[in-house]
Structure 1
Amino acid sequence: MNVSTPIWRPTPERMANARMRAFMQRLQPASASPLDAYDSLYRFSLSQPAAFWGGLWDYLGLRGEKGGLVVDDPLRLPGARWFPQARLNFAENLLPRDDAADALVFRNEQGMRRALSWRMLQQQVAACAHALESAGVRPGDRVAGYLPNVPEAIVAMLATTSIGAIWCACSPDYGVASCLDRLRQVEPKVLFTTNGYVHGGRFHDLADKSREIAAALPGLARTVTVAYPGSTLPDDENLSYEAFLAGRPCRIAWKRFPFDHPAFILFSSGTTGTPKCIVHGAGGSLLQTLKELALHCDVHPEERVMYLTTTGWMVWNVMASALGLGATVILYDGSPAFPSTSALWDLVDDEDIAVLRIVPRLIEQYQAAGLRPRDSHRLASLKCIQAGSSPLSSRHYEYVYREIKEDVHLMSPAGGTDIMGTLATGSPISPVWAGEIQVLSLGMKVEVYDDSGRPVVGQPGELVCTQAFPSVPVAFWNDDGSRLHAAYFQQIPGAWRHGDWARLTAHGGLIIEGRSDATLNVNGIRIGTSEIYRALQGLELVTEAAAVECPGPDGTSIVLFVVLREGNQLSGTLAADIRNAIRTGATSRHIPASIVQVDDLPRSSNGKVSEVAIRDFLAGRPTRHRDGLLNPEALDRLAASSLTTH
């Protein structure tokens, strides 16, 4: 592949039909210079924030009272007030239709399909909202979900936000302790729970866990149990979802709240301390998620959107917002590679999915299996693939365009829970360069600072945002503002410090080098871990890696943990190849002192490899919030005597 040329360019037809192009035309009267490319729109979004965000409200047709003022001081970060006179209802804006077309389609790995029309969705949301109010839920109260990715989770979230209460959720693959670490902090009044979920070919019974969680939350007024599709609840179950909604009115009178009225509490991964309870306002959440979907992903009405996600991940919130564009949301539960590695692509064809979100690890699985969806499937509807949760390597880009689809917009967004949005993302009207996140997100003044606090391009540093944006968290729950300020603003005054180590590229894109708290400090030299990972991309036998620093009597050294393709063992020859690749692709300072083969790496709740957990393990420290890891058993295997080390 020629790295001096883009790996993909949008066709003139795609560019002409992109929603971003229509938005540019709408904003053009407010701009003194032509808005004819992504770069010009991005510059406008920063230089004219009121015109940009106010214009976005109008373009999206948000329902509510916008008010006359968009932002009081866009340079004040933190502290800028957005749409201070506005009134809106989050749920009202996600329910723009009331017809018989599909709003939600549930699919799972067992082949089950269940559709919910827009009219049925409206009716269930109304009934659930009335039921919540009858249970004593008032604006500002918390309603929690311990649910798989089923339609009832969407209904409960919309009903909660419709009455001004705050929605929060834990994925059902969390352990009891991990859930309680989160839910005890926010004291929900109502808990929606489930009897189980499916994954990897079996039903995982959660009845006992659900009861244990409910019993440990003394402030609960109601526990509502959702039967997993295709299953039944025992006769002695306390209150079923159907019984909770039964007899309730199916119409709702929308109540409108201030722009910053709390709508969601999102939980951090919890691998570096007690999970943070991040409170997001309705207006900022709505604008950021719809901006991402409409402009960056180019979602149109009637199109079908599917994200591989759990209900406890911020990505689920973004996916749900596609309803606000009149799109159909496909809810998938289970393993995307069961009963076969091609199952996901069968689903793309069956449901005519236009926008699909997956994770880089799944691309690795497809590549290892020799899967070629472009030969085995139509994929005619598929126009955009997002691959998020961890950096997407050049090797991933090459595989997607070679073996999945040649004309598809591949994007690798970076942002997350803290901002209910992205800092860098995709553009449907711009070229894609392998190994880079395509563009900086509209309305987000993203910079990279070196150690002296100066903005730099082409070298790694702290990823920051230096201008106010509407989705700055409203608060941390039960915080006077000091913890929020310390988390994001204390280290670099006047800037949002995101916690990533990153590098701006000559093409105007971004490369994530790793988390700042996982950046290696080897005898005084800071090293981004992704520089090591990129150097390994040409080694087909290495599927994943994690580099951590290890202090010793002679100073700090690097230990590299590697996962190899199935059936391979780390030999002296391969270890030498790994070190040579790192020396060539990075520097001699990046070369690990030890290379350790493992069969898996510990991951946080959003699927990212937790270098911090590995570092704690090597230092002999207890892993903080081990239960917050998706696979804590991977840490146990790090200590196994069978590991191969070179």
Structure 2
Amino acid sequence: MSENALWSPSEERIEAAQMTAFLHFCEARLGRAFADSRDLHQWSITDPGAFWDAIWDFCGVIGDKGAERLADGDKMPGARFFPEASLNFAENLLRDGDTDDALVFWGEDKARARWSFNDLKATVSRLQKAMQAMGISAGDRVAALMPNMPETIAFMLATTSIGAVWSSASPDFGPRGVLDRFGQIEPKLFVTVDGYWYASKRIEIGDKLKEIVPQLPSAEKVVIVPYLGIADEVASSVERTETLETFVAPFEAGPMHFARLPFDHPLYILFSSGTTGVPKCIVHRAGGVLLQHLKEHKLHADTRPGDRVFYFTTCGWMMWNWLVGGLAAGATLLLFDGSPFHPGPEVLFDLADAERMTLFGTSAKYIDAVKKAGLMPVSSHSLDSVRAICSTGSPLAPESFDFVYQGIKADVHLASISGGTDIVSCFVLGDPTRPVYKGEIQGPGLGMAVEVWNDEGGPAVVGEKGELVCVKPFPVMPLYFWNDPDNAKYRAAYFDRFDNVWCHGDFAEVTAHGGLVIHGRSDATLNPGGVRIGTAEIYAQVEQIEEVLEAICIGQDFDGDVRVVLFVRLKPGAELTGDLEKRIRTKIRTGASPRHVPAKIVAVTDIPRTKSGKITELAVRDVVHGREIKNKEALANPEALDLYRDLPELAG
């Protein structure tokens, strides 16, 4: 094992990795040798056209590449990958398998389903015919308010097989949140369910749909997928609505036609989750998403045909789109909908053992919650099939790295990954051929020219914190924002800070191992005394305190400067005593630095977070400063913001 590494792959595992197979593929193709995956990465950003051409061929993409690989490759935005290519996204996801499992679904303990590839193809075929019968064609939008269940994936594949554009959200969104998103894109078809389960509670959404559907006049039809068994009842009470059974009844399964469309044809519309206004509608291109997801699944996650891939996600988070891309790599997808702690806190580990999971995808918050719940899956579960654990959503604390290897599984590739809705994929992620070091993301993705820049607009030195940037084009940059005809909002979002360089908005540093550490969003960094520090560094310390369940930290304008304010949610029965405050400050001072120590610590009973589970530092900061929150519907628990208004503790 490499010195100080938590895990190093064996020689046998390195040789078996898809990353190694691709390296050898490129060596034969180019007539040169690569020292390792880092050397391969350097080539991938030096000659991006040749690199993405190799990805296309290595992954066996179905379609016509055309002759040109990269046009206007010095422009960002503006570069065009494979400008002559034509392909179909769904065709590439449905090319494998027959009777093998394609989708396995657990809806807490309330529902189970198992679809073979033949089952999936048959359902997609009938849905395709039903959509075409109602006049859906390339460029039309289909919007779904759905749980993470097999029917959702089937609808997405039918949509994209035609060349229509898919967009989804989770059924726990309120009416305003749904309309703020889908109202902008004017879907021709709206797909939803009769209700869903969460934490063993049965939640019907018929009344919500009665409010939403009349305000979606573009939706010529609304299709209700049964989940609670009341689809007929809901369909009869909402205008323009029919059940899934009625929608596909006239059509038999049969051969499908896949519309081969340009590489840059719109595929997905995803939404920003901020709380400062109506969500941005981010349009992603079919070819770019396909190539990027194939690269990440096959090379960085080491997904092989027949693997069983899981990511805990809702349909309102980009990790759902990422998970679905696993079909193109020949994987079976394991789907879970509901609370990850119901019917018991061990349910996802039960799923891993029962279904022979190979990749366990989750969030940093979930890993921390497992630890704080006192679970030790290393003792209670086999997990012998699990080769990789991925974590995203927020930075994975160094202590959580320790817990994974000590409390979950010792021999596993732990990949902390980071990217976002903006690119529906990752900038930095795992490498199954390299060691894992505590607290570090292993490195940039192949083809991603990721650097950390200082305020002067140059590369930061090792250990210096700065802005995460990408200095060369990549094929999964957004195609455009909806209703942004001159690309003004698009350019402002990523290119205002540095000309012709993508500035992602993460506060990061490069490590001595060539890895990266993300310290939080750069727009949420703290500036006490003019020194920038990341919130993730504070969370990594305070959440080790036994009494603290979770925390959120902001910078408060005070007395001509910015002071650090830490809000903590404590375990039931715990109180924020003087002794506890002292222990928190000492832990932060010794584990991070004296600059990180909060000026104020305030106990709260809840912490606001987005639908995808991310804490909302900017919203809390705005509330503390008396500013309006314009998009509360982006939050899972908007009522929590009231806890931060007019706090006497922050008055002086």
TM class by smaller structure: over 0.9
Relative to structure 1, the CA distance from residue 645 to residue 332 in structure 2 (aligned partners, 3 Å threshold; closer, same or farther) is farther
Q: Deviations over 1:315-356 (max 9, x none)?
A: 001111111122111111111111111111111111111111
How many Å separate the matches in 2 of 1:245 and 1:58? 36
How many Å separate the matches in 2 of 1:498 and 1:378? 39
Contact 2:600 2:650 in 1 (8 A): no
Q: Deviations over 1:263-315 (max 9, x none)?
A: 11001103232201000000001011111111111111111111111111110
Contact 1:596 1:645 in 2 (8 A): no
2:537 equivalent in structure 1: 531
Q: Deviations over 1:165-212 (max 9, x none)?
A: 100011111111011111111010100011111010111111111232
Contact 1:597 1:645 in 2 (8 A): no
Report deviation, 1:569: 1.7
| More off after superposition, 452-461 vs 520-529 | 520-529
Report deviation, 1:249: 4.3
Secondary structure (helix, strand or coil) at the match of 1:344 reads helix
How many Å separate the matches in 2 of 1:229 and 1:298? 37
Report deviation, 1:643: 9.2
2:193 equivalent in structure 1: 194
Supply the AA of the counterpart residue of 2:528.
Answer: V
Relative to structure 1, the CA distance from residue 155 to residue 240 in structure 2 (aligned partners, 3 Å threshold; closer, same or farther) is same
1:279 is the counterpart of 2:283:
yes
2:204 equivalent in structure 1: 205
Relative to structure 1, the CA distance from residue 229 to residue 115 in structure 2 (aligned partners, 3 Å threshold; closer, same or farther) is farther
| More off after superposition, 31-40 vs 142-151 | 31-40
How many Å separate the matches in 2 of 1:32 and 1:540? 56
Contact 2:294 2:325 in 1 (8 A): yes
Given candidates 624, 627, 640, the residue that maps to 1:621 is 627
Supply the AA of the counterpart residue of 1:410.
Answer: L
Q: Deviations over 1:6-34 (max 9, x none)?
A: 11111222111111110111001345652
1:340 is the counterpart of 2:344:
yes
1:360 equivalent in structure 2: 364
1:215 equivalent in structure 2: 214
How many Å separate the matches in 2 of 1:341 and 1:391? 22
Alignment of 1:484-495 (within 5 A): 484-495=490-501
Q: Deviations over 1:451-486 (max 9, x none)?
A: 111111311111110000000110001112111111
Given candidates 447, 462, 470, the residue that maps to 2:467 is 462
Secondary structure (helix, strand or coil) at the match of 2:192 reads strand
1:514 is the counterpart of 2:520:
yes
Secondary structure (helix, strand or coil) at the match of 2:52 reads helix
- Structure 1 moving runs of 4+ over 6 Å: 640-646
Report deviation, 1:78: 1.3
Alignment of 1:578-617 (within 5 A): 578-617=584-623
Given candidates 549, 553, 560, the residue that maps to 2:555 is 549
| More off after superposition, 528-537 vs 171-180 | 528-537
1:477 is the counterpart of 2:482:
yes
How many Å separate the matches in 1 of 2:185 and 2:231? 30
1:171 is the counterpart of 2:170:
yes
Supply the AA of the counterpart residue of 1:245.
Answer: V
Contact 1:613 1:624 in 2 (8 A): no
Contact 2:231 2:243 in 1 (8 A): no
Report deviation, 1:112: 2.5
Q: Mind listing any 5+ residue stretches in structure 2 that lack a counterpart?
A: none
Contact 1:314 1:416 in 2 (8 A): yes
Report deviation, 1:232: 4.8
1:405 equivalent in structure 2: 409
Given candidates 563, 566, 580, the residue that maps to 1:574 is 580
Secondary structure (helix, strand or coil) at the match of 1:236 reads helix
1:248 is the counterpart of 2:251:
yes
| More off after superposition, 328-337 vs 636-645 | 636-645
How many Å separate the matches in 1 of 2:560 and 2:501? 37
Contact 1:93 1:324 in 2 (8 A): yes
How many Å separate the matches in 1 of 2:436 and 2:229? 42
| More off after superposition, 203-212 vs 565-574 | 565-574
How many Å separate the matches in 2 of 1:233 and 1:56? 46
Alignment of 1:2-21 (within 5 A): 5-21=4-20
Report deviation, 1:538: 4.7
Relative to structure 1, the CA distance from residue 201 to residue 344 in structure 2 (aligned partners, 3 Å threshold; closer, same or farther) is same
Report deviation, 1:397: 0.7
Secondary structure (helix, strand or coil) at the match of 1:278 reads strand
1:239 equivalent in structure 2: 242
The alignment's TM-score, normalised by the length of structure 1, stands at: 0.96
Secondary structure (helix, strand or coil) at the match of 1:254 reads coil
Q: Deviations over 1:415-470 (max 9, x none)?
A: 01101210100011111111111111111000111111111131111111000000
1:94 is the counterpart of 2:93:
yes
Contact 1:191 1:224 in 2 (8 A): yes
How many Å separate the matches in 2 of 1:554 and 1:468? 41
Alignment of 1:300-319 (within 5 A): 300-319=304-323
How many Å separate the matches in 2 of 1:189 and 1:232? 21
How many Å separate the matches in 2 of 1:441 and 1:189? 36
Secondary structure (helix, strand or coil) at the match of 2:550 reads strand
Contact 1:355 1:384 in 2 (8 A): yes
How many Å separate the matches in 2 of 1:105 and 1:210? 28
Aligned-pair identity in percent equals 45
Secondary structure (helix, strand or coil) at the match of 1:437 reads coil
Supply the AA of the counterpart residue of 2:469.
Answer: V
1:80 equivalent in structure 2: 79
Q: Deviations over 1:565-622 (max 9, x none)?
A: 4432222112112222222233333221100122331112221111001101110122
Secondary structure (helix, strand or coil) at the match of 2:527 reads strand
How many Å separate the matches in 2 of 1:597 and 1:619? 18
Secondary structure (helix, strand or coil) at the match of 1:411 reads strand
How many Å separate the matches in 2 of 1:366 and 1:582? 23
Secondary structure (helix, strand or coil) at the match of 2:80 reads coil
Report deviation, 1:533: 2.5
Contact 1:109 1:334 in 2 (8 A): yes
Report deviation, 1:557: 1.2
Report deviation, 1:242: 1.5
Report deviation, 1:525: 2.6
1:293 equivalent in structure 2: 297
Supply the AA of the counterpart residue of 1:193.
Answer: T
Report deviation, 1:38: 1.8
Supply the AA of the counterpart residue of 1:605.
Answer: K
Contact 1:395 1:537 in 2 (8 A): no
Q: Deviations over 1:467-520 (max 9, x none)?
A: 000001100011121111111112210101111111111111111111121112
How many Å separate the matches in 1 of 2:41 and 2:437? 18
How many Å separate the matches in 1 of 2:232 and 2:399? 46
Relative to structure 1, the CA distance from residue 345 to residue 642 in structure 2 (aligned partners, 3 Å threshold; closer, same or farther) is farther
Relative to structure 1, the CA distance from residue 321 to residue 572 in structure 2 (aligned partners, 3 Å threshold; closer, same or farther) is same
Contact 1:288 1:420 in 2 (8 A): no
Secondary structure (helix, strand or coil) at the match of 2:197 reads strand
Relative to structure 1, the CA distance from residue 482 to residue 392 in structure 2 (aligned partners, 3 Å threshold; closer, same or farther) is same
How many Å separate the matches in 2 of 1:310 and 1:296? 22
Contact 2:108 2:339 in 1 (8 A): yes
1:436 is the counterpart of 2:440:
yes
Supply the AA of the counterpart residue of 1:75.
Answer: D
How many Å separate the matches in 2 of 1:544 and 1:475? 36
2:126 equivalent in structure 1: 127
* CA RMSD across the alignment: 2.0
| More off after superposition, 57-66 vs 223-232 | 223-232
Contact 2:543 2:550 in 1 (8 A): no
